[in-house]
Amino acid sequence: MASTQAAAPSGSSYIGPMIIVGVLYFIMGFFTWINGTLISFVQVAFQVSLAYAFLVTFAFYISYSVLALPSAVILRRTGMKKGMALGLFVMAFGAAMFGQFATMRVFPGALAGLFVIGAGLTLLQTAANPYISILGPIESAAQRIAAMGVCNKFAGILAPIAIGLVLHGIGDIAEQAKSANPAAKEILLNDFAAKVHLPYMVMAAVLVAIAIWVVRSTLPEIKPAGANDEHAIGHTGNSIFSFPHLWLGVLCLFLYVGVEVMAGDAIGTYGQGFGLPLDQTKFFTAFTLGAMLLGYFAGLVLIPRFISQQRYLAVSAVLGVVFVLGALATTGYISVMFVAALGFANAMMWPAIFPLAIKGLGRHTEAGSALLIMGIAGGALIPQVFVHLKDTVNFQSAFALLMVPCYLYILYYGLRGHRVGQQAG
């Protein structure tokens, strides 16, 4: 394992590491926010139902739940720096898998590729999130994560636009496939599926190059036990089960990622519910990510100078409820814009929840981070509930019934839950 230091760098000394980690957050955002457009892609290329198409998000996000704890074990052996590089290598393998199996139109293989990409991202996030949180003072962690979020969501804006351009004419392909004879249909869909092969192979090569760069970089190792001491919250618990604010945070992150994916990846499906054309809805994720980018800039300015990260989390949750009700009360493009506005409400939730939940975990920081990363499985399960719920009630009502309770719990965590079990330091 690489040499460690007991505490995080201070002052301007962590600007260089932040730039390197910012590149990693860009990569996380790019691969995460492609999924919304891939839902439409697999529905057309593999001729599957919407419920099966949403297995794209399920396969991707469920890997976080399965592999987060093993990632923590790996990071204890490799250190955070080598662990992040290893995550990039795994992502590269998954990207190559998806590109190849999608071109061959082997649906289980394509889903397996997305699962492997998610596995690499799990390792990357299990290292990068606590790393950036404890790189400086924990009280300003939300501000640093917000800076990383700008990188992440800028990539998220580019991702659906880039893949949308690659899949140009998807609406026409879908219509032609409906009327084509079986032989012509196969040729049409094979040619369409092959469009993703070269882009994903290029992405795999870029990931390998960045992994090598990270290994050779001057990115310092940080020892969480020294940088995130239990005494910071007046706690010296021997077990990770003695930190209730962490476990409440895991549930909070689970619900947050669910609403984030609903607002980002499911917005295209939401728009299609109003009969909006596929060639337009494939770009809707970019609207949500644009709103999130604005939310990050707001967080950078306001936290912690004018408002604490926990108070901002509560305000964001209230905004989430307001925007969901706005979406429910309107129709068409106006309703879609209310859903996109959830990006602004969601922007500072991860940056606030993560440092609040790992605060004071000390030697348990890696394990706590892994548990929080497992919460990302909310992005797999909550959209699945939506897909099936909208078969029994109006899709707008289904959306609101899922989203409002999630935001209310996030409000609770921002007001009270993050302090449960803590004493005055």
- pLDDT (0 to 100) of residue 221: 74
Task: Supply the pTM of this predicted model.
Answer: 0.75
- pLDDT (0 to 100) of residue 2: 37
C-beta of residue 256 within 8 angstroms of C-beta of residue 406: yes
Residue 119 burial (10 A CB sphere; 0-12, 13-18, 19+):
buried
CA angle 167, 168, 169 (to 5 degrees): 110
**Under CATH, what is the fold of the domain 11-419?**
Growth Hormone; Chain: A; (1.20.1250)
Closest CA to 415 of 345, 342, 356, 341: 356
C-beta of residue 417 within 8 angstroms of C-beta of residue 256: no
Q: How far apart are CA 225 and CA 141, in angstroms?
A: 17
3-state class (DSSP) for residue 221? coil
The H or E element containing residue 398 is helix 395-415
C-beta of residue 122 within 8 angstroms of C-beta of residue 374: no
Closest CA to 123 of 77, 88, 76: 88
- pLDDT (0 to 100) of residue 6: 40
The b-or-e profile of 120-145 (16+ CB within 10 A means b, else e) is bbbbbbbbbbbbbbbbbebebbbbbb
Residue 317 CB partners (closer than 8 Å, separation 6+)? 345, 349, 407, 408, 410, 411, 414
Q: What are the two backbone dihedrals, phi and then psi, of residue 218, each rounded to the nearest 5 degrees?
A: -95, 20
Q: How far apart are CA 393 and CA 399, in angstroms?
A: 10
Residue 347 CB partners (closer than 8 Å, separation 6+)? 146, 149, 153, 291, 292, 293, 294, 295, 296, 298, 299, 316
- pLDDT (0 to 100) of residue 132: 80
Closest CA to 248 of 128, 381, 414, 382: 414
Domain positions in the chain are 11-419
Q: How far apart are CA 264 and CA 247, in angstroms?
A: 26
Q: How far apart are CA 397 and CA 384, in angstroms?
A: 15
- pLDDT (0 to 100) of residue 238: 67
Per-residue pLDDT of the chain (425 residues; tens, 9 = 90+): 333 344 445 545 667 788 888 999 999 989 988 888 898 899 999 999 888 998 998 999 899 888 888 888 888 888 888 999 999 999 999 999 999 999 999 999 999 999 999 999 989 988 887 788 777 666 666 677 777 878 887 888 888 888 888 888 888 898 898 888 999 999 999 999 999 999 999 999 999 999 999 998 888 776 655 544 554 444 555 678 888 999 999 999 999 999 999 998 889 889 989 988 888 887 888 899 889 889 888 888 887 788 888 899 999 999 999 999 999 999 999 999 999 999 999 988 988 898 889 888 877 877 888 888 888 889 989 999 998 898 899 999 999 999 999 999 999 999 998 888 776 43
Cβ neighbours around 164 below 10 Å, total: 23
